[in-house]
Each structure stands twice: as structure tokens, then as C-alpha cells.
Amino acid sequence: MGRVIRNQRKSGGIFKSHTHHNKAPAKLRKLDYAERNGYIRGIVKEIIHDPGRGAPLARVVFRDPYRYKLRQETFIATEGLYTGAFVYCGKKAALAVGNVLPVSQLPEGTIVCNIEEKAGDRGALARTSGNYATVIGHSADDNKTRIRLPSGAKKTISGAARATVGIVAGGGRIDKPLLKAGRAFHKFKAKRNAWPRTRGVAMNPVDHPHGGGNHQHIGKASTIARDASAGQKAGLIAARRTGLLRGTQKVKEV
């Protein structure tokens, strides 16, 4: 019997993400009467860096609609946002970069980011630097909207789910190569314990199903069944297909 392999050891809860230096959870405003029926104006106070996140954050201050006080929210900054900019949130907000609207109010082809998966969850999709989704079409009778996600997948969401107009700031981050191990070290130091990662074929048979042999080779199919025992589960788990995507992709429009 071999050793307990890496993916068994790290699937527990002890390798937590390094959130100690994070500024604040990046979320949209809580969905309230003002956003459902009209709009509310906020002002961008500062644009800040969040450790471990590629995209910058924007501190946006709103006046509380019910009490005499200010409410500070932390949004994911969209490209083109600046300190002192006004941000409008709500059903009646204008279609302008940085504003937050329900997707049912957005015309087809609009570029959006930080989209709610379910109305009121405060933003879940297309949140990484330079990413965006596209509104494909609306279905008025059941108040649903279809969007194309950054992965190319299409998804149907509620028309009441909100989205920020524009693309996430900080794009082009992966165009520059890391070049040296030190940069990768510091990148993942801020994120989580996920680096360096030893290849399975470089290990001994006791440490990994792909280990051993006189040359570094897997020696068996790299695909493995979904119901395989935990110690065997390494490689391409329950893959429907493997290899390069050949030929042109037929995109079926809705």
C-alpha cells in the first residue's frame, strides 16, 4: 500500500487561503427598495489594491436611504473608474460604465462584469481582472436573461440579477510572464499554499499513481474513473474527452 497522496492530504481544511491581508469582501450593495425601483448614487472615494487579487477594488460611499449616515461598499473596480466618479445603482440607473443595473434592463450585446448568479447574492460571475460577460438575449415572459460567460459557456440567470456595466480593471495581467520562481513564490504567498507543485511522474511509486519507472512516463491512461478510490484519483478525473480541441467550434446562438 502506498502513501496518502497529495490530493488526499490537501483536500481537508488545513490548507486555508491566506486572507489575513485582504481588504474587504468585494460585493455589490444589499438589494433594497432604492435599487429595485429607482436608483441610488454613490461616489468612488479610493481605488485600492487587494493582496492576492488581480483586480483593484473601489471604495464607494452611498448615503443611507433610511438613516442619517454614510454606507461604504467595496466594489470590484471596472476599467475607467476613477476617484470622484459617481456610480449609480438600480433599475433606473443609466447605461454607463461602472453603473449597476438588473440584467433585464441591459440591451443585448452589453459587456458586463461582477454578475449575480441569483438575484441578491451581491456578485458571483466574471470578477477576475480583465474579465467580462456578454448579454446575449432576454426572455420577457419568464424574466430570464442569457449571458455568455468568460469561459464561453452560456448561462441563463434571473432578469432581476444585477451586473456592473463594463469590464473588470487590471486586464492584461497574465500577458507578462512571471519569468522567475521568486515571483511565483510571492504571488502564491498572498493567495494560498498551492506552489510549488511537483509533477506526479517525478515522484516515486509510493507517493503517486504516476510515479516510478526508468523514464518519466505515466505508464497507464491518465484518465481515471469518478468512483475510483481517493488514492487512485490523480490525472484527468472522469474526463469526457481529452486532447486538443480540433477544428472550428460551432457556436449555437440562442
pLDDT at residue number 33:
96
Contact 250, 242 (CB under 8 A): no
pLDDT at residue number 250:
67
pLDDT at residue number 12:
79
pLDDT at residue number 11:
86
pLDDT at residue number 246:
84
* DSSP codes joined into one string, the chain: --PPPHHHHTTSSSS----TT-----------HHHHHS-EEEEEEEEE--TT-SS-EEEEEEE-SSSSSEEEEEEEPBTT--TT-EEEESTT--S-TT-EEEGGGSPTT-EEESB-SSTTS---BS-STT--EEEEEEETTTTEEEEE-TTS-EEEEETT-EEEES-BSSTTGGGS---SHHHHHHHHHHH-S--S---GGGS-TTT-TT--TTTT---S-SEE-TTS-GGG--SEET-S--S---S-------
pLDDT at residue number 182:
97
Which grid coordinates are listed for 155?
448561462
Contact 102, 118 (CB under 8 A): no
pLDDT in tens, the chain (254 residues): 789 999 999 887 777 889 999 999 999 999 999 999 999 999 999 999 999 999 999 999 999 999 999 999 999 999 999 999 999 999 999 999 999 999 999 999 999 999 999 999 999 999 999 999 999 999 989 999 999 999 999 999 999 999 999 999 999 999 999 999 999 999 999 999 999 999 999 999 999 999 999 999 999 999 999 999 999 999 999 999 999 888 876 665 55
The identity of residue 197, as a single letter, is R
